[in-house]
C-alpha cells in the first residue's frame, strides 16, 4: 500500500524523534558504563591501599622480631624505646606487645615482677560482663607482659591471649607453623567504643626450630601487633584521593561473612546500590580473607555525569525538526510550481479570444487518440 503524501512528513518526524531519544539514551548508558568502570578502578585503588597498609604494618612486626632474635634478653626499657621509634613512623598501629609463654608453675613468680610502675602484675581474662578478672588456672598462659604505648592500653596489660578459644587456636597455629597469623575480629580490651580490631601474632623461639615438635619445645612467646580495623581502613583511605564511596569490610575466611567495618558517610539510594555495587576480595593476609563491598554515593555519580546525553538527544531532535521543516518548505514550493505549470499549460492550449482549446491542444490530443486507435 502506497504511503499517502500528507502522512509521510509527520511519520518522518516521529521516526526522527524516536531515533533522537534512542541516541540520547545510548550516550547516557555509555556514560553510565564509563562511570561504573571508573568506580571499579577507584575501589581497586582503595583495596590496594588497604593491602599496602597491612603489608607495611607487618613489616613493623618483622623489624621487632629481628630485634628480638638478635638479643638474648630484651628488657622493658629496650622494648619501649624500640617500639616507640616504630610507632612514631606508623600511626595506624594501636599497640605493640610482648606475650611470653608462662606456665602455671611460674605464674606466681611472674606476678611479683613489675614490667611497669602501675602495681603488681596479674594475669587476667575478660569476664562475660566485659570487665577483667584474674585468669582461670590453666597449664600455660600468654599474657601481655610488655606493652607500648601504655597510655590508652593499660587495661590490656596482663591479659592472657590464650583465654579465648578462637584466639588460642590461632596462637597454636602460628606456633606450629612458625609464621605470623592474624586473628579473627575481636573487641579489644582497651577499646571502650566496642570497635573491632585484630591481632597479628609473630612467634618467637629460643632456638632454631624447623619442626613442629621443636617449635612447641622452644617457643618463648609472641610479638603482637594490635590493630583497630577502622584505623587500617581510614589510613588506607588517606592514600586514595577518591571520595564519595561507601564501603563495607567483611571477613569471609572459611566461607564466613562477618562485618568488620562499615564506612557509610555518604547518601545513596536503592537504584545505585543495585546497579553500581562492587565487591573486591583482598589478597589472603596471614590466614585471613577479607572482602570489600563498595557503593558510590549520589555525589560521586552526579559529579561524573555530563550534559552530553542531553546535548546529543537535543541536537539530534533539532536536526530532525530542521530537516522536516526544510522538507515541508520544499514540498510546499513544489506544489506551487506544479500548480503554476498546470496553469501555464492550460493557458498555452486555450485560445485567448474564444477561451476554447486551440490547434496546439488539438495536435496534442489527436496524436494521443490516434495512437490509442492504432493500438
What is the model's pLDDT at position 219?
Answer: 92
Residue 254 CB-density burial (10 A; 0-12 exposed, 13-18 middle, 19+ buried): exposed
Residue with cell 524516536: 18
Give tens-digit pLDDT for 338-356.
Answer: 888 888 877 777 766 777 7
Determine the 3-state secondary structure of 158 from DSSP: coil
Q: 3-state class of 260 per DSSP?
A: strand
In the predicted structure, residue 2 carries a pLDDT above the cut 80? no
* pLDDT 10s digits, 61-86: 999 999 888 888 888 889 999 999 88
- pTM, entire model: 0.72
> Is 333 contained in some domain?
no
The string over 68-102, giving b where at least 16 C-beta atoms fall within 10 Å of a residue's C-beta and e elsewhere, is: beeeeebebeebbebbeebbeebebbbbbbbbbbb
- For residues 188 and 144, give the distance between their C-alpha atoms in angstroms, rounded to a whole number: 13
Domain assignment present for 158: yes
What's the whole-number mean pLDDT along residues 112-135? 70
Q: Specify which residues 133 forms β-bridges with.
A: 125
Report if residue 84 sits inside a domain. Answer: no
User: Is residue 18 a part of any domain in this protein?
Assistant: no
Residue 105: CATH number of its domain? 3.30.450.350
For residue 181, what are the domain limits?
A: 93-234
Residue 12 inside a domain? The answer is no
**129 falls within a domain:** yes
How many angstroms separate the CA atoms of 22 and 316, rounded? 10
User: Quick check: is 271 in a domain?
Assistant: no
Instruction: Average the pLDDT over 110-124 and give the result.
Output: 64
SS3 of residue 142 by DSSP? coil
For the chain, the domain total comes to 1
Beta bridge partners of residue 309, listed in sequence order: none
| CB-based contact 170:181 (threshold 8 Å) | yes
- Whether 174 maps to a domain, the answer reads yes
Amino acid at each position: 500500500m502506497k504511503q499517502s503524501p500528507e502522512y509521510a512528513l509527520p511519520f518522518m518526524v516521529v521516526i526522527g524523534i524516536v531515533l533522537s531519544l534512542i541516541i540520547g539514551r545510548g550516550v547516557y548508558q555509555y556514560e553510565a558504563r564509563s562511570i561504573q568502570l571508573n568506580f571499579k578502578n577507584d575501589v581497586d585503588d582503595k583495596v590496594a591501599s588497604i593491602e599496602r597498609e597491612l603489608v607495611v604494618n607487618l613489616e613493623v612486626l618483622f623489624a621487632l622480631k629481628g630485634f628480638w632474635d638478635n638479643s638474648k634478653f630484651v628488657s622493658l626499657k629496650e622494648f619501649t624505646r624500640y617500639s616507640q621509634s616504630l610507632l612514631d613512623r606508623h600511626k595506624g598501629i594501636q599497640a605493640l606487645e610482648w606475650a611470653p609463654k608462662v606456665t602455671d608453675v611460674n605464674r606466681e613468680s611472674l606476678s611479683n615482677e613489675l614490667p611497669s610502675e602501675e602495681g603488681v602484675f596479674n594475669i587476667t581474662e575478660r569476664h562475660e560482663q566485659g570487665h577483667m578478672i584474674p585468669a582461670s588456672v590453666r597449664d600455660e598462659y600468654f599474657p601481655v607482659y610488655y606493652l607500648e604505648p601504655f597510655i590508652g592500653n593499660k587495661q590490656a596489660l596482663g591479659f592472657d591471649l590464650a583465654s579465648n578459644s578462637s584466639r588460642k587456636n590461632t596462637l597454636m597455629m602460628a606456633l606450629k607453623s612458625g609464621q605470623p597469623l592474624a586473628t579473627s575480629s575481636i573487641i579489644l580490651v582497651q577499646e571502650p567504643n566496642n570497635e573491632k580490631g585484630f591481632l597479628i601474632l609473630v612467634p618467637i623461639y629460643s632456638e632454631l626450630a624447623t619442626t613442629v615438635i621443636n617449635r612447641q619445645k622452644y617457643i618463648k612467646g609472641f610479638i603482637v601487633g594490635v590493630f583497630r580495623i577502622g584505623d587500617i581502613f581510614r589510613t588506607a583511605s588517606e592514600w586514595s584521593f577518591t571520595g564519595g564511596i561507601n564501603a563495607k569490610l567483611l571477613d569471609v575466611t572459611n566461607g564466613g561473612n562477618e562485618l568488620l567495618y562499615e564506612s557509610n558517610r555518604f547518601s545513596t539510594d536503592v537504584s545505585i546500590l543495585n546497579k553500581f555495587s562492587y565487591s573486591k576480595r583482598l589478597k589472603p593476609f596471614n590466614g585471613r580473607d577479607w572482602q570489600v563491598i563498595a557503593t558510590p554515593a549520589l555525589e560521586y555519580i552526579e559529579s561524573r555525569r555530563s550534559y552530553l546525553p542531553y546535548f546529543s538527544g537535543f541536537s539530534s531532535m533539532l536536526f530532525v525538526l530542521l530537516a522536516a521543516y526544510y522538507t515541508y518548505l520544499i514540498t510546499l514550493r513544489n506544489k506551487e510550481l506544479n500548480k503554476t505549470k498546470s496553469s501555464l499549460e492550460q493557458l498555452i492550449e486555450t485560445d485567448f479570444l474564444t477561451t476554447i482549446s486551440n490547434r496546439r491542444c488539438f495536435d496534442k490530443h489527436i496524436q494521443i487518440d490516434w495512437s490509442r486507435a492504432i493500438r
